[in-house]
Amino acid sequence: MIMDIEQVMQYLPHRYPFLLIDKVIELDLGKTITAIKNVTINEPFFPGHFPGAPVMPGVLILEAMAQAAAILSFKTKDYAPEDIGIVYFAGIDGARFKKPVKPGDQLVLKIAIVREMRGIWKYTGRAEVDGALVAEAELMATLRDKP
């Protein structure tokens, strides 16, 4: 299943400059998602991180993983965000950053569900550029009613 940006925006409450998923290229309900973030020099964080040597902040790579995981959870449960609420981070473990992500890179986010129990989801996440691992982490999230 492929999702374009309009479909992605139906499942995520984030908007510019915090929407970090451009499209979904693979989705296996209840199992995995592969999503894309095209990293451009126009990103609002590059002027300050770092001037003259722009690098995507690691925390935003993790956020992109979390956004992909949220889409996977919503689609797996066949929920629309307005039906259930918001997916919130509950934890991040084992985050590792292997290589910098720079303007012009295409970040490929690969997320797999490890388990879901009592509304708490656990995932493994990998971020790759040109097939090389740039970041990985275990993520936990929970679905909650909108505030």
Q: What is the pLDDT of residue 147?
A: 62
Asked if 86 and 125 touch (Cβ cutoff 8 Å), the reply is no
Asked if 80 and 139 touch (Cβ cutoff 8 Å), the reply is no
Q: What is the pLDDT of residue 53?
A: 94
Beta strands in 1-69 (DSSP E): 23-28, 32-38
Q: Is 49 a catalytic residue?
A: yes
Q: What is the pLDDT of residue 84?
A: 66
Q: What is the mean pLDDT of each run of 10 residues along the chain (147 residues)?
A: 93 93 98 98 94 96 97 88 78 98 98 94 98 98 76
Residue ranges covered by each domain of the chain: 5-144
Could you give the CA distance from residue 104 to residue 4 in angstroms, rounded to a whole number? 20
Asked if 121 and 89 touch (Cβ cutoff 8 Å), the reply is no
> With b meaning 16 or more CB within 10 Å and e meaning fewer, what string describes 61-84?
bbbbbbbbbbbbbbbbeeeebeeb
Q: What is the pLDDT of residue 1?
A: 72
Beta strands in the chain (DSSP E): 23-28, 32-38, 86-97, 106-117, 120-129, 132-144
What the block records as the tokens of 112 is 């797999």
Q: What is the pLDDT of residue 63?
A: 97
CA angle 112, 33, 16 (to 5 degrees): 115
| Domain boundaries 5-144, corresponding CATH code | 3.10.129.10
Q: What is the pLDDT of residue 136?
A: 98
What the block records as the tokens of 111 is 């997320």
Indicate which residue of 49, 77, 99, 126 is catalytic. 49
